[in-house]
Structure 1
């Protein structure tokens, strides 16, 4: 009997244990589910969670990397037949695009100035103090500077240190010899060969000579030698090899080298690949996705920028499939994919296809996308458009980028979900790194600049820094399938949002821009208040107040233009402008409220300093600047980002030291915007206020002197009203 009772109690005990365990499991699942739901509500972007999950599941970083391996498996010596037919990379892109279901796939060629150069043999030998092969283009394709002349030369080496200034050559006889220097090959050619009679140059120019001593930079010399001169030859050396050579010379040993080069030239051409994903016919607008396939035909960078082409190819593949499966809405607008020789190819294509150009409402440009971020100490950076080109595109792109980046963080607030990323976006053979991102101000030097020059808003995605770009070490082994996958998710989502946008998406984008614009205006206020708070000179308090007011006024004008730009996404852009007018008015009210806060803080600062508050008035110099219009003079090669080709090294060399110092007074990070403003026929004061509002206060006297010198050089025209 006792045994029976014990057995019954044990059974009841086990049943209770199982019930308790079940309750705990159910409770844990409930907590986890609630946490997950709350988390998903916090993480939001312009596309739905369902759509983002579909993109995450489909986009393949492995496929993107495979594209790179097909495009540039290794830096190779390009066969001459490619110059007569089509280039390997163009064929690869066109082949995959057709397989993936792209439409209107076409390889197109445009003539270009100058001839193309391709070596078929290139060897550099040390003859003295020991016999050794130093370089062979079949080992390192970029070791021979582009445009080097064919021939066999043997000569003694002269070390000129940097070799970037005439003083570096003082007391050194380089006639008939080979110049060794750390300056770029083109600079050594000009100073060493053209001006002093050297037969060739050795450059060990390197971005990071101590961190990567075996890295060889991709370089070129000019084929257009002055009359009576020869172009000669140039070799790019690693810092390690150059230092060894310098060591020989420092010990008094003679260094003699022999250069053997055979090269062919071909008519200049710009080869582009174009493909489309057709819209549904409901819109007469188009969208562009861009990356550069070539940067010259000698350098074949895996990351710069075959990675961008490989990535965008995968974006299109994933998008086509998701639309076909009904997981993403079909595009209203035709999406164009353009893979080109950087900058020049984009310009040539847009100039020919003016009918398409006028329909493009946005471009997403991808330049250097696949690096493993942790190994290069890099961020994946979204470069916004400059304030001279306000657009919704910045906020649309930022929303999606930040959404994906937040998924790739392990957040302690959500540890009930487990110790992991919120939603892993990783590839089977890729890293498990966090997604290091940054949203930064505008930077040029890629194809997005050309689109803006043609009136098309464009943002750039890029990995930076890239420790290996423009060098012998820009190879596929540096790339990460996980980074490709994340970039593909961001790019595909942004592309889908623009291509399929109608009234509903347009309102979402306008709301995104309005909210982010409020944040940016808050940043502008904080910057302006800091001018007042940091000012220790009572007499300068008024100027700080003027700068604070200008910063807020500038921000408000930019944000109003951003809101207006979203009208293009509505089914009827004209109706969209009317609908958005009320939001523009709200921005103006916000600016007035913030201005009131600045006024109050100015009053407080004045009281603390026992200073008298004053109403800002124009000074005599400001009145003069307001009457003077500054216009850019466009010469051959002029355009976005330069001064018509008139402000180069030769022009600056003729200036006095005082004038050269004046050109250094406008910071480099302002000059691209300055050039755009010079094309808008603004007064000097308007230009100063714009630059000061976007960046930091710029002394009017500095800008005036800068423009006066540029006028002397022929790059700017100053007209008094």
Structure 2
């Protein structure tokens, strides 16, 4: 009996040891993908997205601030310490920055829009929360009843007497605000201008949110229409004089701007950092409650690995949640000493789409490279669009191809479609780039529910949240602990990417020449890509303490790429 007891105790001890060892298994570049794929479930990201998307978030308003404090609550649960209470030993810290708002904040409460004489409302806030233009003031409780004047050509608005009337036009409310409200003394504005990529004739109830200037003197209001409501209103107008009753309730009040920043302090080079930025404001689920959720699960999972002593970042990992572009711009500008050590910045914006429903594709928006000048072949701009750039605006760096390779690998592993688009701008990667900090955008487009009140939680996929968060974390860990070996691997991958790109450009140049384009332009394109990769290879020096350790590798790849470029140009001349 005693023998059996001893064997049982020994077996239990060994089992406990195995479980402990399994729990504390070190995470390294060899197993990042396996462990993070297993541990990043998407549950917290989805839960957070579900919470945030309930609110129409404007900086300083109730929904925005509740989102900030929800993030803080989850960070504390994961082990982060409020910065003001932290000691030097604390690796996981966070802070909430508070600043007074120059203008009051705004939030929608309720609204109805009715055609007098009809029972069914034209619109109501309970089903179309984007119907009230941002910065609109409340009407009297009984509402405002007035005749609608349809302005078919907005150039003629100054020739029409709109005083005391409701102006209806198919344009942006900003375009007619001054002429209708300030100069024309109209009682309000009703507009429709959903772009075609929203497929309005299919998504007939969608309203893309709109705004008007904040005006405490005229206290204006505006209503944005869905396609369905627009058609009903136009049909009524065709029959004759139409009077609308408009009831709007909003809150406009002084507030403060909140930004939340979480830091995971690096062990060797704590001043150097990678920053993930996710903006909170916007009314939708995909835009950008998903970015908020993914960043939070990334921060929480990293805290778990650190608390279990599985992972130690050599450089600092920072997560930033706030007002789009504004918070990120301030972060990179207000502290010049901190800014010079930000090595990479990544924007998480619209990162959780159920693409079967939205029609979007996961995209990595690249740093400005020659595809933003000569967009051809597989390179395509999104419906968002981008202006043609110049060679002087290029930002050669290894980050583009490094991240593309990592996300393509996850795509293959998870049967997930990953694509890219040339630089376009419009999100939190822009402030980084303006300060010459390497940065890309993770997002989805074209989304048929973009900025509409149909961008709700049912359009979000936990699988997509998992794929984006997992790969962002894998990539992040590699960069945070990058060393000589990392640099050499990236140099090798860059060389392969360069060769692939140059051969694709040769193919595209042959097509262009056959279509009548000049040889000189094709040589300029090949030369630009050669220059891009030559300079991108040189940027790998920022991963090592001794540049000489990778000097030979860089020069070898540069010579190979240059040689291929010369041969391609020779082929084009034949």
Instruction: Please name the residue that 1:352 is paired with.
Output: 334
Query: 2:355 & 2:65 partners in 1: Cα distance?
Result: 30
Return the index of the structure with the highest Cα Rg: 1
Shift in Å, 1:282: 4.2
Among 85, 88, 97, the alignment partner of 1:108 is 97
Q: Does 1:232 pair with 2:214?
A: no
- CA change 1:303–1:81 in 2 (3 A) is closer
1:583-594 to structure 2, matched below 5 A, reads: 583-584=554-555, 586-594=557-565
Equivalent residues in 2 for 1:286-435, closer than 5 Å? 286-295=273-282, 299=283, 301-325=284-308, 329-387=311-369, 388-409=394-415, 435=416
**Matched ranges for 1:445-594 at <5 A:** 445-535=426-516, 544-570=518-544, 572=545, 575-576=546-547, 579-580=550-551, 582-584=553-555, 586-594=557-565
- Give how far 1:576 is off: 2.3
Q: How far did residue 341 of structure 1 move?
A: 0.5
Cα deviation, 1:620-650, whole Å, max 9, x if unaligned, reads: xxxxxxxxxxxxxxxxxxxxxxxxxxxxxxx
- Work out whether residues 289 and 338 of structure 1, in 8 Å CA contact, stay in contact via their aligned partners in 2: yes
Give 1:451 shift: 0.9
Whether the 8 Å CA contact 1:549–1:595 is kept in 2: the answer is no
Q: Give how far 1:502 is off.
A: 1.5
* 1:75–1:475 CA contact under 8 A, matched in 2: no
1:349/1:79 CA distance change after superposition, 3 Å: closer
Shift of residue 193, structure 1, vs aligned partner:
2.7
Moved more, 238-247 or 333-342: 238-247
Q: Find the partner of 2:424 among 429, 443, 446.
A: 443
Structure-2 change in CA distance of 1:147 and 1:91 (3 Å): same
Greater RCO, CA 8 A, separation 6+: 2
Unaligned 5+ segments in structure 1 are 1-45, 410-434, 605-721
User: Cα distance 1:139–1:552, how it changes in 2: closer, same or farther (>3 A)?
Assistant: closer
**Which stretches of structure 1, 4 residues or more, deviate above 6 A after TM superposition?**
77-81
Give the distance between the partners of 2:331 and 2:460, measured in 1 at CA.
30
Shift in alpha-carbon separation, 1:224–1:588, aligned structure 2, 3 A = farther
Q: CA deviation at 1:80?
A: 9.5
1:195-206 aligned at under 5 Å gives the runs 195-206=183-194
State the shift of 1:447 in Å: 0.4
1:36 matched residue in structure 2 = none
Report the Cα offset of residue 195 of structure 1: 4.3
Tell me the CA shift for residue 48 of structure 1: 5.2
Asked if structure 2 preserves the Cα contact closer than 8 Å seen for 1:125 and 1:134, the reply is yes
Q: Tell me: CA distance 1:78–1:115, structure 2 relative to 1, closer, same or farther (3 Å).
A: closer
d(CA) in 2 for partners of 1:166, 1:140:
30
After the TM superposition, which of the residue ranges 518-527 and 487-496 deviates more from structure 2? 518-527
Which residue in the other structure is 2:77 paired with? 99
CA contact (8 A) 1:75 1:140 kept: no
- Distance in 2, matches of 1:347 and 1:47, equals 33
Q: Whole-Å Cα distance in 2 between the matches of residues 248 and 473 of structure 1?
A: 26
**1:335 Cα offset (Å):** 0.4
Q: Identify the range of structure 1 (189-198 vs 147-156) with the bigger mean alpha-carbon deviation.
A: 189-198
Asked whether the equivalents of residues 278 and 349 of structure 2 are also in contact (C-alpha less than 8 Å), the reply is: yes
Q: Residues 532 and 545 of structure 1 are in contact (CA less than 8 Å); yes or no, is this contact kept in structure 2?
A: yes
- Whole-Å Cα distance in 2 between the matches of residues 112 and 380 of structure 1? 34
Question: CA 1:581–1:132 in structure 2 vs 1: closer, same or farther (change >3 Å)?
Answer: same
Q: 2:147 matched to 1:160? A: no
Distance 2:556 2:510 in 1: 24
| Change in CA separation of 1:357 and 1:386 when aligned onto 2, cut-off 3 Å | same
Provide the C-alpha distance between the structure 1 equivalents of 2:431 and 2:58, rounded to a whole number of angstroms. 28
CA pair 451-533 structure 1, distance change in 2 beyond 3 A: same
C-alpha contact (below 8 Å) 2:527/2:565 kept by paired residues = no
Task: Work out whether residues 95 and 262 of structure 2, in 8 Å CA contact, stay in contact via their aligned partners in 1.
Answer: yes
Q: 1:65 aligns with which of 25, 37, 46?
A: 46
Structure 2: tracts of 5 or more residues without a match: 1-26, 81-91, 370-393
Distance 1:474 1:437 in 2: 21
Residues 316 and 533 of structure 1: CA distance in aligned 2, closer, same or farther (over 3 Å): same
Deviation, 1:492, is 0.9
Inter-partner Cα distance in structure 2 for 1:450 and 1:78: 20
Per-residue CA shift, 1:505-539, capped at 9, x if unaligned?
A: 1221222222212222223333333343333xxxx
Report the aligned-residue RMSD: 2.8
Separation (CA, whole Å) in 2 of partners of 1:464 and 1:393: 21
Quick one: structure 1 residues 599 and 311, their matched pair in 2 at CA, closer, same or farther if it must change by over 3 Å? same
| Equivalent position SS for 1:391 | coil
Q: Distance in 2 between matches of 1:81 and 1:246?
A: 35
TM-score by structure 1 length? 0.66
State the shift of 1:326 in Å.
5.8
Pairwise CA distance, 1:51: 2.6
TM-score (norm 2): 0.82
SS in structure 1 of the partner of residue 246 of structure 2:
strand
- Residue 697 of structure 1 is matched in structure 2 by none
Deviation of residue 353 (structure 1)? 3.4
Q: Post-superposition shift, 1:82? A: 3.8
Counterpart selection for 1:117 from 92, 106, 114: 106
| Kept after mapping to 2: 8 A contact 1:556/1:588 | no
Deviation, structure 1 residue 446: 0.1
**CA–CA distance in 2 between the matches of 1:81 and 1:545?**
57
Are the aligned partners of 1:525 and 1:551 in contact in 2 as well (CA < 8 Å)?
no
- 1:49 deviates by 5.8
Q: What do residues 316-365 of structure 1 show as CA deviations (whole Å, max 9, x unaligned)?
A: 222333455565x4210010100110011212233333332221100121
Q: What residue in structure 2 maps to residue 24 of structure 1?
A: none
Residue 276 (structure 1) aligned with residue 263 (structure 2):
yes
Aligned to 2:169: 181
After superposition, where does 1:5-84 map in structure 2 within 5 Å? 50-72=31-53, 74-75=54-55, 82=62
SS in 2 for 1:375: helix
Instruction: Check the 8 A contact 1:281/1:332 in 2, yes or no.
Output: yes
SS at match of 1:220: coil
CA contact (8 A) 2:363 2:442 kept: yes
Cα distance in 2 between the residues matched to 1:596 and 1:506: 27
Alpha-carbon deviations, 1:291-327, whole Å to 9, x = none?
11124xxx3x211011001001111222333455565
Give the deviation of 1:224 after TM superposition.
Answer: 4.3
